[in-house]
Amino acid sequence: RHADGRRLATDLTLQLDLRAFTRHSKTSNPCSMGGSFRLPTGDSGIQVASHNAKRNGFISTSSFPSLFLIYAYYVPSSSPFSFGTHNSIIPVLYDSSNDLHRDLRYHPEQPARIDACVNALSAEPGAPIANIVDIALEAPADATVAATVGHISCDPLSSSDLERARSLLVQVHSEKYVSQLEERCRKARQRRIGEGKNPLGFVGYVDDETYLTTESYDVCLRATAAWVRGINLLFDLGSGCRTAFALTRPPGHHATAAFANGFCLFNFAAAAANHALSSGYARRVSILDWDVHYGQGVADIIRSKNWGEDCRYVSMHQVPAFPYEGEQRRKTGKFQNVLTVPIQCESTWTCGYKDAFINHALPFVRDEQGEWEPDLIIVSAGYDGLDSDELASTSLTAADYGTMARLLRERVGPDTKILIGLEGGYQLKEGAAGGNLADAVVETVRALAE
C-alpha cells in the first residue's frame, strides 16, 4: 500500500538485505546477505511507511531476532535507480558537459567518445540494459524521472558531492597538485572574461599530448564524483545494485600522485578505491586494469598510500607501449599488491590474452584460497586494445571485452560489487573491424547485466 493507505496497482519487487550485527563489533556491517522476492499486492499488510529522497519506499520490521535487522525496499519503476531483481539494468553515470574539456585540433581523446557510447546504449534493442543518468544536467523542477529505452535521467551532482570529490583527489595526489591545476584553469578563465571573451578557452598542454581548457578542472572534478557516486550506489542498501558504470573522460589511470600525463589529469580509480575504503563500504578493494596501456599512475599511488595493504592493482597491458613500464610479469610494492601482466603486440583473445587473464589477472583480483576476497572490484576499463584502435597493436574484439566481464563476474561471485570506469578507447568509426569503442562498452554492460 501507499503511505496514504491506497492499494498499489502492481506487485512489488522487494529487495531483502539481512545485515548481521555483533555486540562487540565497532562496525554495523561486518557481514551481509541479500536476496529479492516478489510480493503480490493484497497478500500482506505491509505498507510503505515513508518515501526517502531517492523515491524509494522503505519498510522495516523489528519482529525478528535481535541479531538481525531486516530491510525491505520498494523501488518504484519511475526511479532513476530501479535496477530490477537481478540488477538487469545497470546505472551508467555520465556528464553531458564533458565537452568543455576538448582540444582545439583533432585529438583522439575527444567528447565524441562519450556521445558514441551514450547513443549506443540508448539504442540497444530489446529490454534495456542501461539506465543512463546525466550527473551534470539540471532537471526541471517538475520533471518526472523514468528509466526507459533511449531516455536519459537527470540527477545532478550537489556541492557536497563535488567537495567530497576534491577531498579524495587531494588525498591521492596532494593539495599542491590539485590546487595548481585548479588555479591554472580558473585564472585563464577569469583572464578571458576580463578580455571580453567566451569563458571557455584553450589553456595549453601539460605535456605533448595532455591538454587543458579553462573548464578541465571542473570536468575532472565531476568525473571523480561520478566514480564516487557509482561506489555509493553499489553499497546503498536500497538500490539492489551489483554493478555500476562511470562513463567519464578524460581517462585517469596514468596520472601519478604528482604528474599529469598520457591524457590523464587526475586518477579516478585511485580516488574511488580510497572512497570505498575510507567510507567503510569495503574492507578490501581490487582494481583490474584492462586498458591496453599500463596504468602506472594507479600503481604509483597504491604503492605510496597506507591503505595499500587493503587494495590490490593488476594491469594487463601491451609491451612495448606507453608509458614504457611494467614490461615484466611481477609483483611490486611493500605489500606485493601491484601486479603487472605484459601482453605482446598482435595478441588476440585466444592467443595471449585469455591465458593471461584467466591464469594471472583474475587469481590476483580474487584468489581461490580465500586469502584475498575483495568486497569491491574497480575496473579501469580501457578499450584501446581493440584491433581497430590506432593507439595500440593488440587485436581484441568488442565481444572479447564482454567475455572478460563475464569471466570477472564468475570469478568474484554474484554478490561482489563491481564498478566499471572508462579509461582509454578511441576507435569511433562505424563498422570498424572487430568493433569500436561504443560496441565494446555495450558488450561489457550487456555481459554484466545478464
Query: How do beta strands 376-381 and 417-422 pair?
Result: parallel
Do 315 and 294 meet the contact criterion of CB atoms below 8 Å apart?
yes
- Identify the bridge partners of residue 421 per DSSP, sorted by sequence position: 246, 380
Separation between Cα atoms, residue 306 and residue 161, nearest integer Å:
24
Separation between Cα atoms, residue 239 and residue 93, nearest integer Å:
15
DSSP 8-state assignment for residue 156: P
386 contact partners, CB below 8 Å, separation of at least 6: 396, 397, 398, 425, 427, 432, 434, 435, 436, 437, 440
185 contact partners, CB below 8 Å, separation of at least 6: 203, 212, 213, 214, 215, 216, 217, 218
Separation between Cα atoms, residue 174 and residue 256, nearest integer Å:
11
User: How many angstroms separate the first and last alpha carbons of the chain?
Assistant: 31
**Torsions phi, psi for 224 (to 5 deg):** -60, -45
163 contact partners, CB below 8 Å, separation of at least 6: none
- Identify the bridge partners of residue 57 per DSSP, sorted by sequence position: 51, 74
CA distances from 107 to 70, 189, 251, 262, 423 (A): 52, 22, 13, 12, 15
Residue written as grid cell 523489528: 62
Of 173, 254, 293, 317, the catalytic one is 254
DSSP states along 405-439: HHHHHHHH-TTSEEEEEE-------TT-TT--HHH
254 is catalytic: yes
Helix axes 398-412, 437-449, angle to 10 degrees: 30
DSSP states along 18-40: EEE--TT-SSS-SEEEEEEEEE-
H helix runs in 109-201, sequence order = 112-122, 159-172, 175-194
**Torsions phi, psi for 447 (to 5 deg):** -65, -40
For the annotated catalytic residues, the residue numbers are: 254
